[in-house]
Structure 1
Amino acid sequence: MTELSAHHVGVTVADLEQTVKFYRDTLGFPVESEFSVSGEAFATAVDVESATGRFAHLDAGGVRVELVEYEPEGERERESSVNQPGAKHLGFSVDDIDSLYESLDGQVETLSEPRTTDTGSRILFLRDPEGNLVELLETS
Protein backbone atom coordinates (compact mmCIF):
# COMPACT_ATOMS: atom_id res chain seq x y z
CA MET A 1 0.00 0.00 0.00
CA THR A 2 1.22 3.52 -0.81
CA GLU A 3 2.08 5.65 2.22
CA LEU A 4 0.26 8.95 2.57
CA SER A 5 1.54 12.04 4.30
CA ALA A 6 0.07 15.50 4.73
CA HIS A 7 0.95 18.06 2.05
CA HIS A 8 -1.35 21.00 2.80
CA VAL A 9 -4.65 22.21 4.18
CA GLY A 10 -6.62 24.00 1.48
CA VAL A 11 -9.17 26.78 1.73
CA THR A 12 -11.07 28.18 -1.27
CA VAL A 13 -11.47 31.95 -1.10
CA ALA A 14 -13.15 34.68 -3.16
CA ASP A 15 -10.45 37.34 -2.62
CA LEU A 16 -6.96 35.85 -2.57
CA GLU A 17 -5.10 39.10 -1.87
CA GLN A 18 -7.26 40.07 1.11
CA THR A 19 -7.10 36.58 2.61
CA VAL A 20 -3.33 36.26 2.11
CA LYS A 21 -2.93 39.62 3.85
CA PHE A 22 -4.90 38.33 6.87
CA TYR A 23 -2.91 35.10 7.27
CA ARG A 24 0.41 36.87 6.60
CA ASP A 25 -0.10 40.10 8.55
CA THR A 26 -2.52 39.10 11.32
CA LEU A 27 -1.32 35.55 12.02
CA GLY A 28 2.29 36.02 10.86
CA PHE A 29 2.47 33.16 8.32
CA PRO A 30 5.13 33.77 5.65
CA VAL A 31 4.08 33.32 2.03
CA GLU A 32 6.06 30.41 0.54
CA SER A 33 4.82 30.72 -3.04
CA GLU A 34 2.14 32.16 -5.27
CA PHE A 35 1.20 30.65 -8.65
CA SER A 36 -1.63 29.95 -11.09
CA VAL A 37 -2.82 26.69 -12.62
CA SER A 38 -5.12 26.27 -15.60
CA GLY A 39 -5.67 24.02 -18.57
CA GLU A 40 -7.78 20.99 -19.40
CA ALA A 41 -6.03 18.61 -17.00
CA PHE A 42 -6.59 20.99 -14.06
CA ALA A 43 -10.23 21.69 -15.00
CA THR A 44 -10.92 17.95 -15.30
CA ALA A 45 -9.16 17.16 -12.01
CA VAL A 46 -11.19 19.74 -10.04
CA ASP A 47 -14.36 19.03 -12.04
CA VAL A 48 -14.95 22.70 -12.92
CA GLU A 49 -15.26 23.51 -16.61
CA SER A 50 -12.52 25.90 -17.82
CA ALA A 51 -11.19 26.29 -14.27
CA THR A 52 -8.24 28.47 -13.40
CA GLY A 53 -6.82 28.58 -9.89
CA ARG A 54 -4.69 31.27 -8.30
CA PHE A 55 -2.83 29.82 -5.33
CA ALA A 56 -0.86 31.05 -2.33
CA HIS A 57 1.02 28.69 -0.02
CA LEU A 58 1.76 29.96 3.49
CA ASP A 59 3.94 28.36 6.15
CA ALA A 60 2.01 27.87 9.39
CA GLY A 61 4.89 26.38 11.36
CA GLY A 62 5.10 23.00 9.68
CA VAL A 63 1.66 23.03 8.09
CA ARG A 64 1.24 24.45 4.59
CA VAL A 65 -1.94 26.49 4.27
CA GLU A 66 -3.08 26.63 0.65
CA LEU A 67 -5.41 29.46 -0.28
CA VAL A 68 -6.96 29.19 -3.73
CA GLU A 69 -9.18 31.53 -5.72
CA TYR A 70 -11.03 29.85 -8.60
CA GLU A 71 -12.32 31.27 -11.85
CA PRO A 72 -15.14 30.68 -12.47
CA GLU A 73 -16.16 31.27 -8.87
CA GLY A 74 -18.70 28.88 -7.38
CA GLU A 75 -21.52 29.73 -5.01
CA ARG A 76 -20.45 30.89 -1.57
CA GLU A 77 -21.20 28.52 1.29
CA ARG A 78 -23.06 30.05 4.19
CA GLU A 79 -21.06 30.70 7.31
CA SER A 80 -21.06 27.69 9.55
CA SER A 81 -20.86 27.20 13.26
CA VAL A 82 -18.51 24.60 14.72
CA ASN A 83 -21.33 22.19 15.60
CA GLN A 84 -22.79 21.90 12.08
CA PRO A 85 -22.05 18.58 10.36
CA GLY A 86 -19.46 19.24 7.68
CA ALA A 87 -18.19 22.36 9.42
CA LYS A 88 -14.46 22.92 9.16
CA HIS A 89 -11.87 25.09 10.81
CA LEU A 90 -8.14 25.63 10.79
CA GLY A 91 -6.40 25.16 14.14
CA PHE A 92 -3.09 26.78 15.11
CA SER A 93 -1.02 26.68 18.29
CA VAL A 94 -0.01 29.94 19.89
CA ASP A 95 2.33 30.60 22.83
CA ASP A 96 0.41 33.55 24.32
CA ILE A 97 -3.22 33.65 23.27
CA ASP A 98 -4.04 36.72 25.37
CA SER A 99 -1.26 38.76 23.81
CA LEU A 100 -2.33 37.71 20.33
CA TYR A 101 -5.95 38.53 21.12
CA GLU A 102 -4.98 42.01 22.36
CA SER A 103 -2.99 42.63 19.16
CA LEU A 104 -5.88 41.78 16.81
CA ASP A 105 -7.19 44.53 14.57
CA GLY A 106 -10.67 45.64 15.61
CA GLN A 107 -11.97 44.41 12.25
CA VAL A 108 -11.16 40.76 13.08
CA GLU A 109 -14.33 38.93 14.11
CA THR A 110 -13.93 36.68 17.15
CA LEU A 111 -16.56 34.35 18.57
CA SER A 112 -15.56 35.29 22.13
CA GLU A 113 -12.58 36.39 24.16
CA PRO A 114 -10.00 33.65 24.89
CA ARG A 115 -11.48 31.00 27.18
CA THR A 116 -9.98 28.25 29.31
CA THR A 117 -11.59 24.87 28.69
CA ASP A 118 -12.00 22.13 31.31
CA THR A 119 -8.87 20.47 29.87
CA GLY A 120 -6.82 23.56 30.76
CA SER A 121 -6.31 24.66 27.17
CA ARG A 122 -7.01 28.27 26.20
CA ILE A 123 -8.90 28.68 22.94
CA LEU A 124 -10.03 31.51 20.72
CA PHE A 125 -12.12 31.17 17.57
CA LEU A 126 -12.08 33.90 14.96
CA ARG A 127 -13.11 34.29 11.34
CA ASP A 128 -10.81 35.13 8.46
CA PRO A 129 -11.99 37.76 5.94
CA GLU A 130 -13.87 35.04 4.03
CA GLY A 131 -15.78 33.90 7.14
CA ASN A 132 -13.76 30.70 7.63
CA LEU A 133 -13.33 29.61 11.23
CA VAL A 134 -9.83 29.70 12.68
CA GLU A 135 -9.06 28.24 16.11
CA LEU A 136 -6.11 29.51 18.11
CA LEU A 137 -5.04 27.18 20.89
CA GLU A 138 -2.67 27.64 23.83
CA THR A 139 -1.98 24.41 25.68
CA SER A 140 -0.68 24.31 29.22
Structure 2
Amino acid sequence: METIAQKNKGFSRVNHVGIVVADLDKSIAFYEALTGLKVSNVDQIGGDRMAQVLGLKKTLIRYANLHLENINMDLLEYEQPEPVKAHYDNNQISAMHLCFEVDNIQDAVKRLKDAGIKLSGEPIIFEAADGLKSGFGTAVAYFDDPDGTHLEIIEPQGPFKRERK
Protein backbone atom coordinates (compact mmCIF):
# COMPACT_ATOMS: atom_id res chain seq x y z
CA MET A 1 0.00 0.00 0.00
CA GLU A 2 1.38 3.40 -1.01
CA THR A 3 1.92 5.90 1.85
CA ILE A 4 0.89 9.56 1.74
CA ALA A 5 4.57 10.54 1.48
CA GLN A 6 5.00 8.28 -1.55
CA LYS A 7 1.87 9.70 -3.21
CA ASN A 8 3.06 13.26 -2.55
CA LYS A 9 6.53 12.50 -3.92
CA GLY A 10 8.26 13.98 -0.86
CA PHE A 11 6.05 17.01 -0.26
CA SER A 12 5.03 15.70 3.17
CA ARG A 13 8.10 17.05 5.01
CA VAL A 14 9.28 20.60 5.57
CA ASN A 15 13.02 21.24 5.55
CA HIS A 16 13.24 24.86 6.63
CA VAL A 17 11.60 28.23 6.95
CA GLY A 18 13.48 31.32 5.82
CA ILE A 19 13.03 34.64 7.59
CA VAL A 20 14.43 37.85 6.09
CA VAL A 21 15.86 40.02 8.87
CA ALA A 22 17.23 43.56 9.09
CA ASP A 23 20.18 42.75 11.37
CA LEU A 24 21.51 39.19 11.30
CA ASP A 25 23.48 39.48 14.53
CA LYS A 26 20.48 40.89 16.44
CA SER A 27 18.22 38.15 15.03
CA ILE A 28 20.72 35.41 15.89
CA ALA A 29 20.73 36.65 19.49
CA PHE A 30 16.90 36.74 19.56
CA TYR A 31 16.33 33.26 18.09
CA GLU A 32 19.12 31.67 20.14
CA ALA A 33 17.57 33.14 23.31
CA LEU A 34 14.09 32.08 22.19
CA THR A 35 14.97 28.48 21.32
CA GLY A 36 17.88 27.86 23.68
CA LEU A 37 19.88 26.62 20.69
CA LYS A 38 22.94 28.00 18.90
CA VAL A 39 23.09 28.62 15.15
CA SER A 40 25.01 25.93 13.29
CA ASN A 41 26.77 28.33 10.95
CA VAL A 42 26.94 31.89 9.65
CA ASP A 43 27.93 32.44 6.02
CA GLN A 44 27.11 34.45 2.91
CA ILE A 45 25.93 33.57 -0.57
CA GLY A 46 25.40 35.56 -3.73
CA GLY A 47 26.30 35.95 -7.35
CA ASP A 48 24.55 35.56 -10.70
CA ARG A 49 23.33 31.98 -10.22
CA MET A 50 21.79 32.73 -6.82
CA ALA A 51 20.20 35.93 -8.11
CA GLN A 52 18.73 34.07 -11.08
CA VAL A 53 17.13 31.32 -8.97
CA LEU A 54 15.61 34.01 -6.71
CA GLY A 55 14.34 36.03 -9.69
CA LEU A 56 16.58 39.01 -8.82
CA LYS A 57 19.13 40.96 -10.85
CA LYS A 58 21.83 40.66 -8.20
CA THR A 59 22.06 39.28 -4.69
CA LEU A 60 24.33 39.01 -1.69
CA ILE A 61 22.90 37.45 1.46
CA ARG A 62 24.43 36.96 4.91
CA TYR A 63 22.70 34.07 6.59
CA ALA A 64 22.64 31.78 9.60
CA ASN A 65 21.11 28.33 10.04
CA LEU A 66 19.38 27.18 13.22
CA HIS A 67 18.46 23.50 13.53
CA LEU A 68 15.35 22.79 15.61
CA GLU A 69 14.17 19.23 16.34
CA ASN A 70 11.74 19.10 13.40
CA ILE A 71 12.62 22.01 11.11
CA ASN A 72 15.55 24.23 10.21
CA MET A 73 15.41 28.02 10.25
CA ASP A 74 17.36 30.23 7.84
CA LEU A 75 17.87 33.81 9.00
CA LEU A 76 18.66 35.91 5.92
CA GLU A 77 20.07 39.45 5.84
CA TYR A 78 20.06 40.81 2.28
CA GLU A 79 22.96 43.13 1.50
CA GLN A 80 22.00 43.20 -2.21
CA PRO A 81 19.50 44.15 -3.35
CA GLU A 82 18.70 46.70 -0.68
CA PRO A 83 16.02 45.14 1.53
CA VAL A 84 12.62 46.73 2.06
CA LYS A 85 10.40 46.21 5.08
CA ALA A 86 7.20 44.25 4.54
CA HIS A 87 4.26 44.54 6.88
CA TYR A 88 1.56 41.93 7.19
CA ASP A 89 -1.42 41.85 9.48
CA ASN A 90 -2.51 38.37 10.49
CA ASN A 91 -5.60 38.57 8.26
CA GLN A 92 -3.77 39.53 5.05
CA ILE A 93 -3.58 37.00 2.24
CA SER A 94 -0.04 35.57 1.96
CA ALA A 95 0.79 36.57 5.54
CA MET A 96 2.47 33.71 7.38
CA HIS A 97 3.58 32.95 10.90
CA LEU A 98 5.91 30.45 12.51
CA CYS A 99 4.57 28.44 15.44
CA PHE A 100 6.72 26.86 18.16
CA GLU A 101 5.28 23.87 20.01
CA VAL A 102 5.71 23.98 23.78
CA ASP A 103 4.89 21.52 26.54
CA ASN A 104 3.60 24.15 28.98
CA ILE A 105 2.23 27.48 27.72
CA GLN A 106 2.50 29.23 31.10
CA ASP A 107 6.20 28.32 31.44
CA ALA A 108 6.82 29.45 27.85
CA VAL A 109 5.00 32.76 28.38
CA LYS A 110 7.02 33.40 31.54
CA ARG A 111 10.24 32.71 29.63
CA LEU A 112 9.19 35.15 26.87
CA LYS A 113 8.24 37.88 29.35
CA ASP A 114 11.45 37.35 31.35
CA ALA A 115 13.38 37.85 28.09
CA GLY A 116 11.54 41.16 27.51
CA ILE A 117 9.41 39.81 24.65
CA LYS A 118 5.97 41.42 24.52
CA LEU A 119 3.01 39.22 23.65
CA SER A 120 0.41 40.45 21.15
CA GLY A 121 -2.23 39.53 23.75
CA GLU A 122 -2.55 37.23 26.72
CA PRO A 123 -2.63 33.47 25.94
CA ILE A 124 -5.95 31.74 25.41
CA ILE A 125 -7.06 28.15 25.83
CA PHE A 126 -9.48 26.98 23.14
CA GLU A 127 -12.98 26.16 24.33
CA ALA A 128 -16.35 25.54 22.70
CA ALA A 129 -17.16 29.27 22.69
CA ASP A 130 -14.30 29.80 20.18
CA GLY A 131 -16.27 27.97 17.49
CA LEU A 132 -14.06 24.88 17.32
CA LYS A 133 -15.51 21.41 17.01
CA SER A 134 -12.42 19.86 18.63
CA GLY A 135 -9.03 20.80 20.01
CA PHE A 136 -10.38 22.03 23.33
CA GLY A 137 -7.61 22.66 25.83
CA THR A 138 -5.14 23.81 23.17
CA ALA A 139 -3.39 26.97 24.38
CA VAL A 140 -1.88 29.64 22.10
CA ALA A 141 -0.11 32.99 22.34
CA TYR A 142 1.33 35.30 19.69
CA PHE A 143 4.33 37.65 19.57
CA ASP A 144 6.72 39.18 17.03
CA ASP A 145 10.45 38.95 16.46
CA PRO A 146 12.57 42.16 16.30
CA ASP A 147 11.61 42.72 12.64
CA GLY A 148 7.88 42.12 13.11
CA THR A 149 7.75 38.50 11.91
CA HIS A 150 4.64 36.96 13.45
CA LEU A 151 5.41 34.08 15.81
CA GLU A 152 3.18 31.80 17.86
CA ILE A 153 3.55 29.30 20.68
CA ILE A 154 1.11 26.42 21.02
CA GLU A 155 0.49 23.80 23.68
CA PRO A 156 -1.50 21.45 21.40
CA GLN A 157 -4.36 19.14 22.27
CA GLY A 158 -6.66 16.97 20.13
CA PRO A 159 -6.19 17.39 16.36
CA PHE A 160 -3.48 20.03 16.89
CA LYS A 161 -1.26 17.49 18.66
CA ARG A 162 1.16 15.47 16.51
CA GLU A 163 2.68 12.16 17.46
CA ARG A 164 6.34 12.56 18.34
CA LYS A 165 8.71 9.94 17.03
Q: Secondary structure at the match of 1:110?
A: coil
1:54 to 33, 56, 62: 62
**Structure 2 equivalent of residue 6 of structure 1:** 14
Tell me how far apart the structure 2 counterparts of residues 94 and 48 of structure 1 sit (CA, whole Å): 38
- 1:75-107 Cα offsets, whole Å, 9 max, x none, are 2112x2222211110011001111121122463
RMSD: 1.8
TM-score between both structures, scaled by the size of structure 1: 0.88
Tell me how far apart the structure 2 counterparts of residues 94 and 139 of structure 1 sit (CA, whole Å): 8
Tell me how far apart the structure 1 counterparts of residues 151 and 110 of structure 2 sit (CA, whole Å): 16
Answer 1 or 2: which has greater helix percent: 2
Tell me how far apart the structure 1 counterparts of residues 36 and 95 of structure 2 sit (CA, whole Å): 25
Amino acid at match of 1:27: T
Q: CA deviation at 1:47?
A: 2.4
Where do 1:123-138 residues align within 5 Å? 123-138=140-155
1:37 matches 2:45: yes
* Structure 2 gap segments, 5+ residues each: 1-7, 128-135, 158-165
Answer 1 or 2: which has greater strand percent: 1
Q: Secondary structure at the match of 1:31?
A: coil
Q: Secondary structure at the match of 1:109?
A: coil
Tell me how far apart the structure 1 counterparts of residues 40 and 30 of structure 2 sit (CA, whole Å): 15
Tell me how far apart the structure 2 counterparts of residues 114 and 62 of structure 1 sit (CA, whole Å): 24
Q: After the TM superposition, which of the residue ranges 64-73 and 1-10 deviates more from structure 2?
A: 1-10
2:35 to 21, 27, 33: 27
1:74 matches 2:91: no
**Structure 1 equivalent of residue 71 of structure 2:** 63
Q: After the TM superposition, which of the residue ranges 121-130 and 32-41 deviates more from structure 2?
A: 32-41
- 1:115-136 Cα offsets, whole Å, 9 max, x none, are 1012220101110011001110
Give the length in aligned residue pairs: 139
**Structure 1 equivalent of residue 160 of structure 2:** none
* Structure 1 gap segments, 5+ residues each: none
Tell me how far apart the structure 2 counterparts of residues 3 and 93 of structure 1 sit (CA, whole Å): 23
- With CA pairs under 8 Å and 6+ residues apart, which has the higher RCO, 1 or 2? 1
Q: After the TM superposition, which of the residue ranges 44-53 and 105-114 deviates more from structure 2?
A: 105-114
Tell me how far apart the structure 1 counterparts of residues 36 and 73 of structure 2 sit (CA, whole Å): 12
1:107 matches 2:124: no
Amino acid at match of 2:85: R
Amino acid at match of 2:148: G
TM-score between both structures, scaled by the size of structure 2: 0.76
- 1:13-55 Cα offsets, whole Å, 9 max, x none, are 1111111111101232331222110111112111223311111
